[in-house]
Structure 1
C-alpha cells in the first residue's frame, strides 16, 4: 500500500492492519503529520498540531501492539480534537483570543477515554469563536476542500475539513444548533449528534449547556459508531450524563426489514432547493430497497422554537462567559458579542416562555417518534452555500432561520441524529441528509447509516486537493 492510500483508509481497516502489524502506528502518524504540514497551510483546519506528543503516543501504541496488548478498535488510530475540548498540555482557545493562553492540566473526559483506547491525538482543530456562528476576525477560517468558495460548516469546521482532507481519520465535534451535521453535509462526511447527555461535556467550553451535544465526525457511519462507542457513557464529572447503555449497532449487519422510517414531505420540501429534494427521493428509494417501511408523518411546527433559538442559547452563553464579558468585550468578535447581548436583553419571564415552548415541542416530537424508528430530513435546505450567500444569511433573520430549520429543533429536544452524504450538486459540492431517532436511539441511527452506506458510494468520494 502506498502512503497516498493510507490517509483515506476507514478506521476499521486501519485498526485491523495495526493489530496484524501490516502498518505501524508510528508510520501512520508520521504520514498524517507530513500531510498536515504539506496541505494545512491552505486549509487552516488545525489550530495547534501536537507533533511531538502524537509521535510519543504512536510509539506507545506500537509498543503495546508488539507486546500483544492492542486495546481496542481505535488503538493507534490518529484523530483530531475540536479546540474547545481540554487536552492536557495543549493550548485550548475555543476559537477565541481571550483564551489563547489557556493550557489545561487535564484532559476532557472524551479525550481521556480516547487516550485510554489507544488513540493518537494529532492536535486541536480550528473552530468558530466560542462555538457560535462565525470565526473570530483574527482566525484564519478553515477552507472547504471540495470548494474554497463554499462554507465549511460552522462551529466544527476544522473537524470537517481535516477529516474530509485526510488530515485525521475522524474528529470530535460539538453541535448546539447543527455544528456536527453542517460540516458533515458540507464536506461529504458522516457525523452523529447523540442524545443529549449520551456523551460527557466535562472539559468542554460551553456555548449553550442544555443545547450542546458532543459527538464524532468521520468518513462513514461505521467509523463514527466506533468513536461514539468509546466516548459515550456516564461520567460522574458531568452529572447530566446518562447511564451507559449497550448501543448495539454491531449486531445489525443486514438489511432494514422491520425498520419504520418516517418522512414529512411538506416539512422537508418547504423552501428546500430542488437538488436537496431530489437527493432525498433517492435516499428513500434506497431505504425501501433495503426493506424499510416508509411512512408519511406530520412533523410538528418548529418555527417558533427555531426563531427562539438565539434567545435560548444567548442566555446560556451569557452565563458561560460571565467571567470575561463585558470585562474583555473588546476582544470578542461581533457575532458572539451580539449573541451574549441577546442573552443579557432577554428577561426571566421571556426565557421561561422560551423553555415552555421548547418543552412543548419535545413532547410533540416524542409523540411522532413513538410511531416510527427513524425520521428522514434534510440537514439544511440547500447545499453548502458560497461565502457570498452565507453573508446574506447573516444579515437576514428569516434566511438564517431557514438555515437551522432542520437542525436546531433536535438540539432543543435532545433527540439524536446522524448526518450522511447522499449526492453532489452540479458543481460537485456534497449534499447531506439526516436520520433522527427516538431518545437513546443511536443503535437505530447506526444500523440505518451502515446499511445505507453499504448500498451507496457517496461516503467513499474524496475531494481533490
Structure 2
C-alpha cells in the first residue's frame, strides 16, 4: 500500500533537495523517514553493510540550521546519500567486501566522500559489495536482494548501491565500475548509473581492484540526479595525480540541452548479434524516441571487441595482484576462492604477455577515440539477454559464453576509459527492467546527460519503482 512516506522515498534527489531548501520538509524529517524505511526493509534486502544513524541525524540537523540561516550549499544539501563500502569514511569500518580489511577504520575520508560532505549531503550508510569489487561476494556475506523480484540477480559489485537506490533507501549512491559494476546493477535494479571518463573523479581513498580500469561514478533514479552527484565529486585532486585537471562542466545544466542535432550512432550488427528479442525491441523503441527528439541516427561499425574482452580479464588480474600484494601472501586464507584465483592468475602472467595486452588496449582506445570524432553518442544494450535469475548466475563461473555475453557492452569501455550512462529502457515479459547504455567521447559527460535526460523526459521507464 502506498503512503506519504513511500512517496517521499521515491522522490528524485533534486526534488527532495528542493523541498529541503524551501523548508517544506526538514532534512531531519527526510533522514528519519529513510531510517525507518531501512529498518523496515533492509533486513531482507541486505543493501547496507551498516547504517550511520547517529551521524546522519547530526548531519541533517546541521543542514537544517545552515539552511535556516541562509547558507544553502546546493542541490545535495540535506539529502541522504549512500556510499559503497569501497570508499574510506573517517571513523567508520571500510572493508571493501572483504574480511582481510574487516578491521580497517580510515583516519580520513575518501576525496569523493569529503566532496559530498562539502556539498552538504547526509551520508546515511555504507552499501554492500562483492569481495574487493570483483565478481563474487565473500563466502561470509549474504548478497543484496533485487527489490523488484528476489529471484533475480541484483548485479555486481555495486549491487548494494543499486538495490538501496531502487528500493528508496537513499536518493543516490556512490559506486564504482571496473568491468561493468555500475552498469549491471543499474540495469538489474532499474536505476540510472553514470560511469564517467577514467580520471574524471578522484580515486584517492578508494580500495583498488584494478587501478587503470577502476571508474568512480554515481547511481540515482534519474539522469539529472546522477549528474548532480557527479558535479559534486568530479575534478582534479592533489591526492590523486591521475585525476584529470580539466574544468568540471555544469552537468545538471546539460539535462536541459535536448538531443536536437546530436549524432547518435548504432551498430546494428553488434547490437543485434545473439541479443534476445525483448532487448532488441527496447533498443529499437529507444532509437525511435531519440529520432523523434531530434537526434541524427547514424549507422556505424564498432571495432571488434572479442580480443579486448579477453584481454580485460588478464589486465584486471595483474592489477588486482598489485593491489593485494601487501595482504595476499600473509592472509591468503581470508580470501574467497574467486578473488584469490584472479590474484593468482595475475601473479602468474608474464611481462611479455602483459605488454602485448597493453599495446592492444592502447590501439583499441585509439579506435574508439577516432570513432567519436564523427559522432556524439553511441547507443547499445547493457547486456545481450534478458535479466538474469539467481539460478542462472549461480553457475556463472561455469558458463564462459554467458560471461563473455555479459561483458560484451561493458568492459570494452573500461578498457578504453570512455564515459557511459546506463538507464532503464523497457520492461520485459517477466516484469524486470531492461537496461540500455549510451557511450560518449572522452570527457563528454555533458552529451550523456543531455541524451539520458531527454530520453527520460519523453518516457517513464525510470519512474517504475518496486512495489515495496
TM over 0.5: yes
**Alpha-carbon separation, structure 2, partners of 1:345 and 1:251:** 46
**Alpha-carbon separation, structure 2, partners of 1:174 and 1:298:** 29
Q: Is residue 258 from structure 1 mapped to residue 261 from structure 2 by the alignment?
A: yes
**Alpha-carbon separation, structure 1, partners of 2:355 and 2:300:** 30
SS of alignment partner, residue 209 of structure 2: coil
Q: Is residue 458 from structure 1 mapped to residue 461 from structure 2 by the alignment?
A: yes
Aligned equivalent of 2:16: 14
CA offset at residue 2 of structure 1? 2.2
Aligned equivalent of 1:328: 331
Q: 1:307 aligns with which of 310, 319, 329?
A: 310
Aligned equivalent of 1:196: 198
CA offset at residue 149 of structure 1? 1.1
Q: What does the per-residue CA deviation read over 1:354-396, in whole Å, with 9 as the maximum and x for residues that have no partner?
A: 1111111111111111110000011111232011211333212
Q: Which moved more, 1:237-246 or 1:443-452?
A: 237-246
Q: In angstroms, what is the RMSD of aligned CA positions? A: 1.0
CA offset at residue 253 of structure 1? 1.7
Map of 1:43-442 to 2, 5 A cutoff?
A: 43-249=45-251, 250-251=253-254, 253=256, 255-442=258-445
Q: What does the per-residue CA deviation read over 1:132-167, in whole Å, with 9 as the maximum and x for residues that have no partner?
A: 001001001000001111110110000000000000
Q: What does the per-residue CA deviation read over 1:96-123, in whole Å, with 9 as the maximum and x for residues that have no partner?
A: 0111111111000000000001000001
Q: What does the per-residue CA deviation read over 1:276-322, in whole Å, with 9 as the maximum and x for residues that have no partner?
A: 11110000000000000000000000110101211100000001001
Aligned length: 465
**Alpha-carbon separation, structure 2, partners of 1:213 and 1:430:** 24
Q: Structure 1-normalised TM-score?
A: 0.99
CA offset at residue 182 of structure 1? 0.6
Q: In structure 2, do the counterparts of structure 1 residues 93 and 251 end up closer, same or farther at CA, with 3 Å as the change threshold? A: closer
CA offset at residue 251 of structure 1? 4.9
Q: What does the per-residue CA deviation read over 1:337-357, in whole Å, with 9 as the maximum and x for residues that have no partner?
A: 111011011100000011111
SS of alignment partner, residue 5 of structure 1: helix
**Alpha-carbon separation, structure 1, partners of 2:254 and 2:275:** 36
**Alpha-carbon separation, structure 1, partners of 2:387 and 2:329:** 34
- Unaligned runs of at least 5 residues, structure 1: none
Contact 1:232 1:244 in 2 (8 A): no
SS of alignment partner, residue 217 of structure 1: strand
**Alpha-carbon separation, structure 2, partners of 1:110 and 1:258:** 34
CA offset at residue 439 of structure 1? 0.2
Contact 1:198 1:241 in 2 (8 A): yes
CA offset at residue 77 of structure 1? 0.3
Contact 1:225 1:446 in 2 (8 A): yes
CA offset at residue 247 of structure 1? 2.0
CA offset at residue 327 of structure 1? 1.5
Aligned equivalent of 1:35: 37
CA offset at residue 47 of structure 1? 0.3
